């Protein structure tokens, strides 16, 4: 967490109804507008951008309206679906299941719900849907991946077990989610060992015969803080081996308790966790905690833009206010905001939890859109939420297409308003907004091609 500066102006538009939690702002010109709130579609470099959707399978265990099951997934919503997560078994260096009862059929020891097979069966509704398996995640930590990647023999055992898992269940590839090489107890050598791991994974995946099918995919989820990029990723070398960089462009600013070892100056100040741009007077440290800065950093370091996938969080990060007047960016907060009714995690609310909380107490909430950051926020007398909505998600699509990126990604389907509590789109409003905006760009791209043929 970086040092924050204080005293910047922000833009608030109070509303009396919640609707979609969307305020149509006068978006900054560098988002791609003509100054009249109509979007100017900049010449696209990628004709068919992908839409990657992660799914935290443990969402099955949430109660009531929060429960998310395979049956909630529309196979035509995303181009790529990432089944999250598989784990690394440290004793054997093999990939293993995170939850046998959830993942496996009853014919397996400890099996029950058979979610992997049900997920793969979604292809029956969309034969073009790519379904990959994610290995790792935040809760896995870094140390056991560091140990595995440092040992050539362990790497080969790990890779062979991945190939076996892919072939057993018919996945379309792997998403490597080591969080993070060189950090969280990892070693400095992790940076190069991660490259070796990806290189050997690429070679093994390319050897798998898939008659009538596309080659197996190799993707990875990337932390996007400047210190993580520097410590973890040899971007030019990684670019040789992976199909897509899934950029986790969220959680840039979250509440951190000043009494904990992780605290750094500014960690208890209100900030948005996924701003597209930065404010004019912010220092270089805070400028780096933005979507645009991170994307441009990866490009400058040698990542092909068409391999970059911009991540959008379908949730908000929350702060508990000292008092009702201290609700501005960079004001001191007293703690993380109260947990949502379904995810039960202080400091984080899903998009549908945000909708439901505000709908219950409409008169207590004000909703704004910061035109510097190009993102929405909301606050009451006791709580502040920074989140993404349909408007900000579309702005990120516009930005990404102007940069020529390969597509968009969301964490996660089960955090979006799949139950249509917010209204609009008949569910999954953020994912659908991204998909709709990508379709608009595709249509423009096709017109450009047709026009060029006639000249």
Active site residues: 179
Within 10 A of 448 (CB to CB), how many other CB atoms are there?
A: 14
Q: Write the secondary structure of the chain as one string of H (helix), E (strand) and C (coil).
A: CCCCCCCCCCCCCCCCCCCCCCCCCCCCHHHCECCCCCECCCCCCCCCCEEEEEEEHHHHHCCHHHCCCHHHCCCCCCCEEEEEEEEEECCCCEEEECCHHHHCECCCCCCEECHHHHHHHHHHHCCCCEEEEEEECHHHCCHHHHHHHCCHHHHHHHHHHHHHHHHHHCCCEEEEECCCCCCCCCCCCHHHHHHHHHHHHHHHHHCCCCCCCCCCEEEEEEECCHHHHHHHCCHHHHHCCCCEEEEECCCCCCCCCCCCCCCCCCCCECCCCCCCCCCCCCCHHHHCCCHHHHHHHHHHCCCCHHHEEEEEECEEEEEEECCCCCCCCCCEEEEECCCCCCCCCCCEEEHHHHHHHHHHCHHHCEEEEECCCCEEEEECCCEEEEECCHHHHHHHHHHHHHHCCCEEEEECHHHCCCCCCCCCCCCCHHHHHHHHHHHHHHHHHHHHHHHHHCC
- List of residues 6+ apart from 380 with CB closer than 8 A: 324, 361, 364, 365, 366
């Amino acid at each position: 967490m970086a040092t924050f500066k204080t005293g910047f102006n922000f833009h608030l538009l109070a509303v009396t109804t919640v609707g979609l939690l969307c305020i149509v702002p006068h978006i900054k010109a560098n988002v791609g507008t003509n100054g009249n709130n109509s979007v100017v579609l900049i010449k696209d470099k990628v004709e068919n951008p992908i839409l990657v959707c992660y799914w935290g399978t443990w969402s099955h265990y949430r109660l009531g309206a929060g429960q998310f099951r395979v049956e909630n997934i529309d196979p035509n919503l995303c181009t790529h679906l990432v089944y999250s997560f598989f784990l690394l078994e440290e004793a054997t260096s093999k990939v293993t299941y995170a939850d046998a009862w959830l993942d496996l059929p009853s014919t397996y020891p400890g099996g029950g719900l058979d979610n992997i097979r049900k997920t793969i069966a979604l292809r029956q509704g969309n034969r073009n849907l790519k379904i990959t398996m994610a290995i790792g995640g935040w809760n896995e930590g870094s140390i056991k991946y560091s140990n595995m990647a440092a040992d050539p023999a362990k790497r080969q055992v790990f890779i062979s077990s991945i190939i076996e898992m892919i072939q057993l269940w018919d996945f379309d590839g792997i998403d490597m989610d080591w969080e993070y090489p060189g950090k969280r107890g990892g070693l400095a050598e992790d940076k190069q060992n991660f490259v070796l791991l990806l290189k050997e994974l690429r070679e093994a995946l390319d050897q798998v015969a898939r008659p009538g099918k596309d080659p197996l995919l190799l993707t990875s989820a990337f932390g996007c803080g400047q210190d993580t990029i520097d410590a973890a990723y040899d971007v030019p070398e990684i670019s040789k081996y992976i199909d897509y960089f899934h950029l986790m462009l969220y959680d840039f600013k979250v509440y951190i308790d000043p009494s904990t070892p992780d605290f750094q100056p500014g960690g208890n100040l209100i900030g948005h966790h996924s701003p597209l741009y930065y404010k004019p007077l912010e220092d270089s440290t805070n400028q780096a905690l933005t979507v645009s800065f991170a994307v441009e950093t990866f490009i400058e370091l040698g990542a092909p833009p068409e391999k970059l996938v911009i991540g959008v969080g379908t949730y908000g990060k929350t702060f508990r206010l000292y008092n009702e007047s201290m609700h501005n960016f960079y004001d001191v907060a007293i703690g993380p905001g109260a947990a949502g009714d379904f995810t039960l995690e202080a400091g984080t609310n899903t998009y549908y939890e945000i909708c439901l909380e505000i709908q219950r107490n409409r008169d207590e909430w004000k909703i704004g859109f910061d035109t510097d950051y190009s993102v929405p926020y909301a606050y009451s007398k006791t709580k502040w939420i920074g989140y993404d909505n349909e408007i900000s998600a579309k702005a990120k699509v516009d930005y990404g297409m102007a940069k020529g990126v390969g597509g968009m990604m969301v964490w996660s389907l089960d955090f979006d308003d799949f139950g249509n509590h917010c209204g609009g789109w008949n569910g999954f409003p953020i994912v659908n907004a991204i998909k709709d905006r990508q379709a608009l760009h595709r249509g423009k791209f096709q017109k450009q091609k047709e026009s060029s043929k006639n000249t």
